[in-house]
Amino acid sequence: MDIDKIIDENKGLKIPLIPVLLKIQEIEGFLSESTIRHVSRRLSIPLSQVFGVATFYSAFNLKPSGVNKICLCEGTACHVKGSTRIREKLERILGVKPGETTKDGIFTFTTINCMGACAMGPIMKIGTEYFGKMTPGKVDSIIKEYISP
């Protein structure tokens, strides 16, 4: 089983929990309840602690996410440059609020507090691709590309 392999590889680390959870999430896309229970048992860390770590960091998600992860920056610089309007536009097109996944499972829409690329603001990220200097007008065409590849 993949999870067991990951755990065995990282068992020697001083604090193996976070690397293990990150790698599992890379493969499975999210952390299911059974996965978390399994990790807790294999690493002999209390379940409450594993669950605490998984809920603490925003890098972990406990719900299955869509194929494409849309991440919109709502930091100070992006906010000033109008990221609110882009968020409204995205909400309207996708029909979901930040933190939710569309019904067809293609997009997960999240917001972030700063991406660290304020000069490119307002900035949006889909998967690993960055879209800087966003305008509400650009949103349509970008989303369309991802719906019909």
Footprint of another protein (CB under 8 A): 33, 36, 46-52, 55-56
Q: Which is nearer to another protein, 56 or 148 (CB)?
A: 56
Do residues 102 and 55 make contact, with C-beta atoms less than 8 angstroms apart? no
Q: Cα separations (Å) of 30 from 5, 21, 26?
A: 17, 9, 8
- In angstroms, rounded to a whole number, what is the distance separating the alpha carbons of residues 102 and 64? 11
Task: Quote the Cα angle for 137-141-145, to 5°.
Answer: 160
**What is the smallest separation between the CB atom of 58 and another protein, expressed in angstroms?**
9
> In the complex, what is the shortest distance from the CB of residue 141 to another protein, in angstroms, rounded to a whole number?
36
Residue 36 or 124 with smaller CB distance to another protein: 36
CA 15 to mean position of chain CA atoms: 23
**Burial tier of 91 (Cβ tally within 10 Å: 0-12, 13-18, 19+):** middle
- Residue 126 C-beta: closest distance to another protein, Å: 26
Question: Shortest gap between Cβ of 44 and another protein (angstroms)?
Answer: 10
In the complex with another protein, which residue's Cβ is closer, 100 or 126? 100
Q: Residue 3 or 53: which CB sits closer to another protein?
A: 53
